[in-house]
Structure formats: structure tokens, C-alpha cells
């Protein structure tokens, strides 16, 4: 107990403590800590359990407040906002029937039965929602004594009845009330609706109850909300910008890739896309060679027995493609790990070889649901830049740090900001002992702590065979993408009986790191298309230089320039079509050609070029050799910025 009379001590996440009066609520603690901003103190976590701020604290409780910067805080903010949406709809359409309204990425939705609306209704729903917010109602948690009482309370709503009947008999059931609105919900919720400063209806669509096409069709309303009007403005800008950058539109339009019904979920990479792909992979191979990785290629099809040994058949079978050959069962690999285990097994190893770093650009296939497949971001067949590092226990920290630094080097090359998450053991379905999991998790955590890099812990989201570090990259318009991963595994070496001879001549088990830094190469390609809006830097660009001739008499000089550029390793093309010069220039800009060189009588006479960049800035006449020398560092150094422009396109 605190030494102060009639007070109690609360432990905060930063390890500090604070004394407050006995029986204080979380809201009173937040006020004591001056967490008064609308984005702060949305709810709290008390001793590992999320609570409303109305919850009464006890001496020595450990408390962490969720803010809008936290994923947990956003979920609470948006779930409360979903109740506001439902309340507004019921005020306007009293006969509508509530179903569910969860938070989702960047907002929330609510599904209604007995409701028909159109886009024209959005403004009046928003107006009613803002009226409710202005009332500054305080959501109040109410405990429902039993399942029977819950069934009676919601007896007129068949959807709530179905949900309640699915709960365990002894489950704790709660509901939340805000003014005239009452809904079944586990919470927690915001302390007051006044924290919602911006509210926007986004779209409406049909949705089947519980996602089953056999069930009733409902009306779904999507919306978002924020604790600051500027955040809403920024988000809406991001949405519009994302539409312009959509790789599913830009990719086929620019001849980078295509998707066909004949190969659902498996993209075709086209010639211009292959240039980007090959440049990316050449860079990947170069830095891995520098870091002493050895590259291998393992079979795409291997026997069921192999996948049983690895544990994938038991834990990953639903996501694998399996078939029979000569009465024997095979599977297409969903990941490259077991093949690399066979490679390691193929010869004996000494401690002097370790750490042994093996990389593979593995072509893998996963049975993704058709509804989940999307462009290059979620596919059924993709290339994973896998690697497995076999090492001694004393190598764990240094090898993890090397892998982390290599990932950060890659992302920084593309100006992709990054944050990391340490994902720990899932509650169910894992392999390996408690001791192995503890050692693996501590190994990752100690390496991250030593790196001094920021990271967050993502409880229970590890792989079934080990904990992992996930890299989340942020693109040019602020969206985040889960990309690379580093996983520490002591289970597969055990399952495949892997060994090395230590310095005492004893056969011992190696520890292994799985790691992929691009993740899926297809997905990373899609991210780059959207990050750069297909305006690739010169070293990646499939159309770096285009020469446009004014008339056929200029073709000979254009071809001479083409030879010159190619001698300096520049990809170049000559447009000698019959279109007008203005149309040729416009096409080059649409196709995101980095440098557009126009050749007419003047340029032929002076042996020069007329330079224009894809941002439609005319740089005038210049000597071709001088131009090449100016852009050569951009190519060789993999610069993102053109020497003819101070900022990135």
C-alpha cells in the first residue's frame, strides 16, 4: 500500500507509479495524468484485461491507457463509433433491425436488416450521428445476469438471439447503453462520445448475415471517425490518392502484369514488369552475396511424408495443394523450409561452418480463398525470398541483428519507413516445448532490445513453429503493409534430426532462423507500384529513356543515340511512329518514361537532344554525352531522385 493515507498505488506501463485516492476510476487516473486530449485515454488495460475508464481501480493494479495511436485504441474508438452509427440509423429508421457492427481497418461498419438506403441518405445519417455526438453521451456497461435474461432482453431480434445461443452457458454477457440506444456488446467503449470529433459515412453495400450466402442479405454501412478533423481530412486524401495509385489498374495499363481467369490468383508478369522484377532480384542477390548467403533451389513438389515430418500436413494442410502421382500423395510447397532441411541433411557440418546462411527464391503456392485474392497483394502462387540460417546458440543475437539490419537497408533504399512487431506464441496449434518457445522468444526480444529500435509486442500472433519479428512498412501516402519476417525455430532442426559437430567433437542440434525480407516478391512489386505511383526510379524503370523523332529524316541520328545509350547500359527505345510529336510526348508521360528526348532538325544539326522529364518540365537542348554523365549516378547509385528535379516525382 502507498504511504499516503486513503490512497493506493498504480503501476504504469513505463514502470513508474502514481498515488491516487482509493476507489478511483480509470477516468480519474487519466485526469490525474492530464490525458485530456480526445485521442488520449480512450480505454485502458488493467492487469492484462481491457477495461472502460469507469472501472474502479485497486491498489497495485498495472494500468496502460490506450490512445488513438494504438491499434487497440483505434478498435475501441471505431467500435464505439459503430454504436453511434447504429443509434443514428435507428433514430431515422426505427424499424431497422440491428445485427453486428465491428471495427475494421480504417473504420467500422454496421449491418442492418429491414433497411434500404442509398448514397443520398448519407448526409442525413451523418447529421444525426453528429447530433448524437454533440449530446456527449457516456456509454455505460451493463452486466446481463444470465443467458436466459439476455435471450429475453433481445427476444425481438433474431440475429442477437442467434449470437446469444452460440455463447457458452456460463459466459459473461454484457450490453452497452448510450442514451436511447442499447446493444449487446463486450466492450470496452469510449468514456464519452465527445471524443469523436469527425464522422464520415463512406459507402453502403449488401452483406450476408455472418458471411454465409445461405443467410439473409443485410444492408451494410461503412464509415470512419477520428478524434481530430484533420485526421479525417488526411484519411480521405489518402483514399483518393490510393485510387490513383491502385496497382490493379496501373499494372495492366503499363504492361507490368496481368491477371487472367485461366490462372485465378496467379499473376502473369509481362515484359516491362519483368524488367522491374529482374532489377529487384539482381539487387537482392547482390546484397545476399555480400552477406555470405549461399543460394539454392529446391523442388516445388514433394511427398506427403516430408510435410508430415515438418508439421505442415497437420497444421497447414488446408492451405496446401495436394494430389497423387503413382498412388503416392504429394503437395506443392507452400513454403521452402522443408526442402532446405533436406539440403542441410545431405552432408555433415562442423561448428566452423556456422552460421550457415542459405537463401532461396522459392516459388510457392497457397490455397487462398477466392474472396481473399487481390491483385499482387494476395495471390495463390508467389515467389518468397526465403532464407534459413543455421547457427550455434551464441550466434542468435548477432544473426537476428544482421537480418534486421539487412531488412532495414532494403526498405530504406525505396524510402519505405518501417516499424517492427514481435509476435509471440499462439494460444493453440503450436509445436515445440514451452522451454523452446521461451528461449526462442527471448532470443528475438534480446536482439531487438540491443538494437535500440522501436518495436511492439503482438501477443499470440507467432507462427505455429516459432515466434517472429514482423516488418510493417509505410508507403508514400502513409499506408502500412506487413512485409518481411524473421522467425526463430528450434523445432524443425529437431524434427529433421539436424546436427553439427561442435568444438568438443560432440554432435549437437543447430538453431535456425527463417527469414524473408521482401516477403512475397509479387506483393512487394505491387507495393512498389503504389508507393511510386508507377513512377519508378531510373534503376528500376522499365521505360527509362525514350527518343522521339519529329520526322523520318531524324531516325538515323536517333538510332545513333540509341547505340550510345545502350553502350552506357541504359535501356532505351525509339518512337518513330506516325503519330504527332505532341501525342508521342503525351504517351511517354502516361507510360511514365523518366526521360523523353525529342530529335528534330535543330538537334540533328547541333548533335544534341531536347530534354523533357515525365513531370512535363522542359529542360531544353543539351549535349547527349553531358546528359548521360548527369544521369549515370542516378542509375548506378540507385538514387530515388532525378538530378533534374530536387524532389522525387
The answer to whether 363 is a known catalytic residue is: no
Which phi and psi angles does 350 have, rounded to 5°? -110, 155
The answer to whether 292 is a known catalytic residue is: no
- Residue 156: all three cell numbers together: 425481438
Collapsing DSSP to helix, strand or coil, 180 comes out as: coil
The one catalytic residue among 160, 247, 275, 468: 468
Half-sphere exposure at residue 574, Cβ-oriented, CA atoms within 13 angstroms:
19
Phi-psi region of 44 (alpha: psi -120 to 50; beta: other; left: phi over 0): beta
The answer to whether 576 is a known catalytic residue is: no
DSSP classification of residue 8? E
Determine what percent of the chain falls in helix, strand and coil, rounding each to the nearest 5: 35, 30, 35
CA gyration radius, the chain: 30
Alpha carbon 369 to its chain's center:
18
Which phi and psi angles does 383 have, rounded to 5°? -105, 125
The answer to whether 290 is a known catalytic residue is: no
The answer to whether 285 is a known catalytic residue is: no
The answer to whether 468 is a known catalytic residue is: yes
Residues 6+ apart with CB under 8 A from 569: 635
The one catalytic residue among 51, 247, 275, 388: 388
Q: CA nearest 178: which of 143, 144, 223, 135?
A: 135
Q: Measure the CA dihedral 443/449/452/453, to 10°.
A: 70
Residues 6+ apart with CB under 8 A from 430: 437, 462, 464, 465
Instruction: Indicate the helix (H) or strand (E) that contains 636.
Output: helix 624-636
Residues 6+ apart with CB under 8 A from 413: 283, 638
The one catalytic residue among 185, 337, 340, 483: 337
Q: Measure the CA dihedral 212/214/216/221, to 10°.
A: 30
The one catalytic residue among 384, 385, 515, 543: 384
The one catalytic residue among 366, 515, 554, 584: 366
The one catalytic residue among 514, 554, 612, 614: 514
Q: How many CB atoms are located within 10 Å of the residue 635 CB?
A: 19
Alpha carbon 267 to its chain's center:
20
The residues that are catalytic are: 337, 366, 384, 386, 388, 468, 514
Amino acid at each position: 500500500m502507498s504511504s499516503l493515507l486513503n490512497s493506493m498505488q498504480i503501476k504504469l506501463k513505463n514502470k513508474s507509479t502514481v498515488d491516487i485516492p482509493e476507489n478511483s476510476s480509470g477516468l480519474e487516473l487519466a485526469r490525474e495524468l492530464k490525458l485530456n486530449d480526445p485521442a488520449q485515454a480512450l480505454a485502458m488495460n488493467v492487469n492484462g484485461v481491457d477495461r472502460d475508464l469507469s472501472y474502479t481501480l485497486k491498489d497495485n493494479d498495472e494500468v496502460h491507457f490506450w490512445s488513438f495511436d494504438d491499434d487497440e485504441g483505434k478498435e475501441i474508438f471505431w467500435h464505439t463509433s459503430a454504436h453511434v452509427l447504429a443509434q443514428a440509423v435507428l433514430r431515422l429508421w426505427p424499424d431497422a433491425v440491428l445485427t453486428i457492427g465491428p471495427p475494421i481497418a480504417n473504420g467500422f461498419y454496421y449491418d442492418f436488416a429491414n433497411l434500404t438506403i442509398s448514397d443520398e441518405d448519407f448526409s442525413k445519417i451523418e447529421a444525426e450521428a453528429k447530433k448524437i455526438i454533440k449530446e456527449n453521451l457516456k456509454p455505460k456497461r451493463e452486466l446481463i445476469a444470465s443467458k436466459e435474461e439476455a435471450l429475453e432482453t433481445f427476444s425481438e431480434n433474431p440475429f442477437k438471439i442467434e449470437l446469444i445461443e452460440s455463447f457458452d452457458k456460463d459466459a459473461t454477457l454484457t450490453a452497452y447503453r448510450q442514451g436511447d440506444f442499447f446493444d449487446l456488446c463486450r466492450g470496452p467503449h469510449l468514456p464519452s462520445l465527445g471524443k469523436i470529433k469527425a464522422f464520415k459515412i463512406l459507402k453502403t453495400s449488401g452483406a450476408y448475415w455472418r458471411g454465409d450466402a445461405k443467410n439473409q442479405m443485410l444492408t451494410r454501412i461503412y464509415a470512419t471517425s477520428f478524434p481530430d478533423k484533420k485526421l479525417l481530412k488526411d484519411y480521405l486524401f489518402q483514399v483518393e490518392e490510393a485510387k490513383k495509385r491502385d496497382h490493379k489498374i496501373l499494372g495492366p495499363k503499363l504492361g507490368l502484369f496481368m491477371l487472367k481467369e485461366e490462372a485465378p490468383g496467379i499473376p502473369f508478369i509481362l515484359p516491362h514488369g519483368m524488367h522491374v522484377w529482374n532489377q529487384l532480384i539482381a539487387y537482392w542477390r547482390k546484397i545476399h552475396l555480400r552477406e555470405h548467403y549461399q543460394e539454392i533451389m529446391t523442388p516445388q513438389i514433394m511427398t506427403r511424408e516430408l510435410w508430415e515430418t515438418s508439421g505442415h500436413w497437420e497444421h497447414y494442410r488446408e492451405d496446401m495443394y495436394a494430389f497423387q502421382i503413382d498412388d503416392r500423395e504429394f503437395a506443392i510447397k507452400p513454403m521452402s523450409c522443408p526442402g532446405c532441411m533436406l539440403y542441410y541433411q545431405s552432408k555433415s557440418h562442423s561448428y566452423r561452418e556456422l552460421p550457415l546462411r542459405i537463401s532461396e527464391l522459392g516459388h510457392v503456392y497457397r490455397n487462398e480463398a477466392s474472396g481473399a485474392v487481390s491483385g499482387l497483394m494476395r495471390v495463390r502462387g508467389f515467389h518468397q525470398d526465403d532464407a534459413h540460417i543455421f547457427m550455434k546458440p551464441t550466434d542468435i543475437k548477432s544473426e537476428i541483428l544482421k537480418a534486421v539490419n539487412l531488412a532495414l537497408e532494403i526498405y530504406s533504399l525505396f524510402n519505405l519507413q518501417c516499424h517492427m512487431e514481435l509476435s509471440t506464441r499462439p494460444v493453440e496449434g503450436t509445436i515445440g516445448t514451452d522451454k523452446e518457445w521461451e528461449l526462442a522468444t527471448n532470443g528475438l526480444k534480446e536482439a531487438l532490445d540491443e538494437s535500440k529500435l522501436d518495436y511492439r509486442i503482438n501477443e499470440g500472433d507467432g507462427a505455429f513453429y516459432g515466434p517472429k519479428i514482423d516488418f510493417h512498412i509505410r508507403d508514400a501516402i502513409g499506408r502500412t503493409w506487413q512485409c518481411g519476417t524473421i522467425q526463430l525455430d528450434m523445432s524443425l532442426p529437431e524434427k529433421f534430426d539436424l546436427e553439427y559437430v561442435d568444438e568438443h567433437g560432440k554432435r549437437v542440434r543447430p538453431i535456425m532462423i527463417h527469414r524473408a525480407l521482401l516477403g512475397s516478391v509479387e506483393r512487394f512489386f505491387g507495393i512498389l507500384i503504389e508507393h511510386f505511383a508507377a513512377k519508378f526510379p531510373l534503376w528500376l524503370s522499365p521505360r527509362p529513356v525514350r527518343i522521339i523523332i519529329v520526322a523520318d529524316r531524324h531516325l538515323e541520328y536517333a538510332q545513333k543515340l540509341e547505340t550510345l545509350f545502350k553502350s552506357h547500359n541504359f535501356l532505351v527505345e525509339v518512337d518513330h511512329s506516325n503519330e504527332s510529336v505532341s501525342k508521342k510526348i503525351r504517351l511517354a508521360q502516361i507510360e511514365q518514361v523518366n526521360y523523353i528526348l525529342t530529335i528534330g532538325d535543330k538537334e540533328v544539326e547541333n548533335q544534341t537532344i531536347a530534354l523533357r522529364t515525365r513531370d512535363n518540365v522542359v529542360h531544353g537542348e543539351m549535349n547527349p554525352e553531358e546528359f548521360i554523365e548527369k544521369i549515370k549516378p542516378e542509375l548506378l547509385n540507385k538514387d530515388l531522385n532525378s538530378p533534374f528535379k530536387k524532389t522525387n516525382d
